[in-house]
């Protein structure tokens, strides 16, 4: 199974599947469909039932039941797109056998990745690692999850003696830009319970995530020759800086952890005459989430009054909410995941997601969907890596879950 996981991760990583937040199509980039269609062909070759791709690019298939279980149909879901924050094309992975816990040279960029900067590397000492060469991201987010689901499905198809119920698998585009399940048909998918394979270190089990909003700010300046600008110029760049300074510095990602929320500027563009800014706003607490949005609105309104009505235009949009409210009423979903990890020799680590997954929105769409580890780390950048050993544990957890949901029906 380990060799299959490595082969799949490298193969899937070779597809450029970056999503595009500026696109108005779905999927946002046509190149995602190349991998999605490849996965469809692979499902058909493995003998999965009901394998299809719909008009929106969602790929789904079924591992047929091997026992007459009255247990619910369970699903496993991962996304194929990679983050638009870093180059996702022409990926050149590096394979490091039996990692010794030292510095890793990212040969393409002449950079090093060290436990001094990334102490969690020491948790995978002795593992086989797949890293980038420093010129791109790796794409383990979430192609590691895709590889684990496909490998577990192949294993279950090859071992009909394993007793399990009907299992649905699904792959989505555009998760990285918050649109992954915009058109996902939960009723057609047909699962009553699902798990996203989209976490990080071994044992991660997550059913709490951020409440999330986006903030887009347009700033109208007044460009005047700088030599004659006194009492006339409104420099949109300076206005943007002033607005950003009104937001609490201690509520930035680099100063927060665990349940702390943040304001995170992800883009600023412009010149003297006009500028634009984009933020993401996050908090686990719904009350704190609403407070943060109010702080952003107050900052924008203050700057607009200061420089004249129409200087600042703020567009706030909620993206997703904390899935805890939807998952907690179904404790058996979490308990089954705990048991599946323990059977794989993994200690469950229940923690909040400092991000979001398709599962957050799916949970509010009627499909309770906590998140399970994949073995990847340092997502969205050139320092991304993945542990093949942890990927194996994740695939074993999927197989164990398939059995556990059926066992009580013996």
DSSP annotation string for 147-181: HHHHHHHHHHHH-TTS----EEEEEES-GGGT-TT
CA distance 182 to 199: 21
Q: Report pLDDT digits (tens) over 90-129.
A: 999 999 999 999 999 999 999 999 999 999 999 999 999 9
| Count of residues in the chain | 410
3-state secondary structure of 319: strand
Which of 42, 154, 175, 283 does the annotation list as catalytic?
175
346: preceding bond cis by omega (within 30 degrees): no
**What sign has the CA pseudo-torsion 250, 114, 352, 142?**
positive
CA distance 147 to 18: 17
Which of 16, 81, 251, 384 does the annotation list as catalytic?
81
User: Is 325 among the annotated ligand-binding positions?
Assistant: no
Instruction: Collect all residues with Cβ–Cβ distance below 8 Å to 394 and sequence separation of at least 6.
Output: 144, 145, 148, 197, 202, 372, 373, 374, 375
With bands split at pLDDT 50, 70 and 90, how would you rate the model's confidence at 410?
very low
- 8 A C-beta contact, residue 334 and residue 206: no
Instruction: Collect all residues with Cβ–Cβ distance below 8 Å to 391 and sequence separation of at least 6.
Output: 2, 5, 9, 144, 147, 148, 374, 375
Residue in the structure block whose two tokens are 């979430």: 142
pLDDT value at 327 more than 60? yes
Fold of 211-319: Alpha-Beta Plaits (3.30.70)
Half-sphere exposure at residue 352, Cβ-oriented, CA atoms within 13 angstroms: 19
User: Is 380 among the annotated ligand-binding positions?
Assistant: yes
CA distance 390 to 397: 10
Fold of 2-208+322-407: Aminopeptidase (3.40.630)
User: Is 38 among the annotated ligand-binding positions?
Assistant: no
251 has catalytic annotation: no
pLDDT of 408: 59
Segments making up each domain of the chain, as ranges = 2-208+322-407, 211-319
- What is the pTM assigned to this prediction? 0.87
Q: Report pLDDT digits (tens) over 20-46.
A: 988 999 999 999 999 999 999 999 999
384 has catalytic annotation: no
User: Is 204 among the annotated ligand-binding positions?
Assistant: no
Percent of the chain with pLDDT strictly greater than 70: 99
Q: Report pLDDT digits (tens) over 347-399.
A: 999 988 887 778 889 999 999 999 999 999 999 999 999 999 999 999 999 99
pLDDT of 351: 87
pLDDT of 352: 86
Q: Return the higher-pLDDT residue of 128 and 69.
A: 128
Mean pLDDT computed over 333-344: 97
Half-sphere exposure at residue 267, Cβ-oriented, CA atoms within 13 angstroms: 15
**Among 245, 140, 244, residue whose Cα is nearest residue 197:** 140
- 8 A C-beta contact, residue 306 and residue 219: no
User: Is 330 among the annotated ligand-binding positions?
Assistant: no
């Amino acid at each position: 199974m380990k060799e299959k996981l490595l082969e799949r991760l490298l193969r899937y990583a070779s597809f450029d599947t970056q999503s595009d937040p500026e696109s108005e199509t779905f999927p946002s980039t046509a190149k995602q469909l190349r991998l999605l269609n490849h996965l469809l062909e692979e499902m058909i070759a493995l003998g999965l039932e009901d394998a299809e791709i719909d008009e929106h690019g969602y790929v789904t298939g079924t591992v047929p039941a091997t026992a007459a279980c009255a247990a619910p149909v369970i699903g496993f879901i991962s996304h194929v797109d990679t983050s638009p924050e870093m180059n996702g094309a022409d990926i050149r992975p590096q394979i490091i056998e039996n990692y010794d816990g030292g510095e890793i040279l990212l040969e393409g960029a002449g950079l090093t990745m060290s436990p001094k900067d990334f102490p969690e590397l020491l948790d995978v000492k002795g593992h086989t690692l797949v890293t980038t060469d420093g010129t791109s991201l790796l794409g383990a987010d979430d192609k590691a999850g895709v590889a684990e689901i496909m490998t577990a499905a192949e294993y279950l198809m090859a071992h009909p003696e394993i007793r399990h119920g009907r299992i649905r698998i699904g792959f989505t585009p555009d998760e990285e830009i918050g649109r992954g399940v915009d058109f996902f048909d939960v009723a057609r998918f047909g699962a009553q319970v699902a798990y996203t394979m989209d976490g990080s270190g071994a044992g991660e089990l997550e059913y709490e995530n951020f409440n999330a909003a986006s903030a887009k700010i347009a700033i109208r300046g007044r460009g005047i020759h700088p030599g004659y600008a006194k009492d006339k110029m409104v420099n949109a760049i300076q206005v943007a800086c002033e607005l950003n300074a009104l937001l609490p510095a201690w509520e930035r990602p680099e100063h927060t952890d665990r349940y702390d929320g943040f304001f995170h500027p992800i883009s600023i563009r412009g010149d003297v005459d006009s500028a634009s800014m984009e933020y993401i706003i996050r908090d686990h607490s719904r009350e704190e989430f609403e407070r943060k949005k109010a702080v952003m609105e107050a900052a924008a309104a203050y700057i607009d009054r200061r420089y004249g009505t129409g200087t600042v235009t703020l567009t706030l949009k909620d993206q997703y909410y904390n899935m805890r409210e939807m998952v907690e009423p179904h404790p058996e979903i979490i308990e089954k995941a705990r048991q599946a990890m323990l059977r794989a020799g993994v200690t469950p680590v229940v923690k909040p997601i400092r991000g979001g997954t398709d599962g957050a929105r799916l949970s509010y769409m009627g499909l309770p969907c906590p998140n399970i580890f994949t073995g990847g780390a340092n997502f969205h950048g050139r320092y991304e890596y993945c542990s093949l050993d942890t990927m194996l544990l994740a695939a074993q957890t999927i197989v164990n879950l398939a059995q556990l949901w059926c066992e009580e029906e013996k």
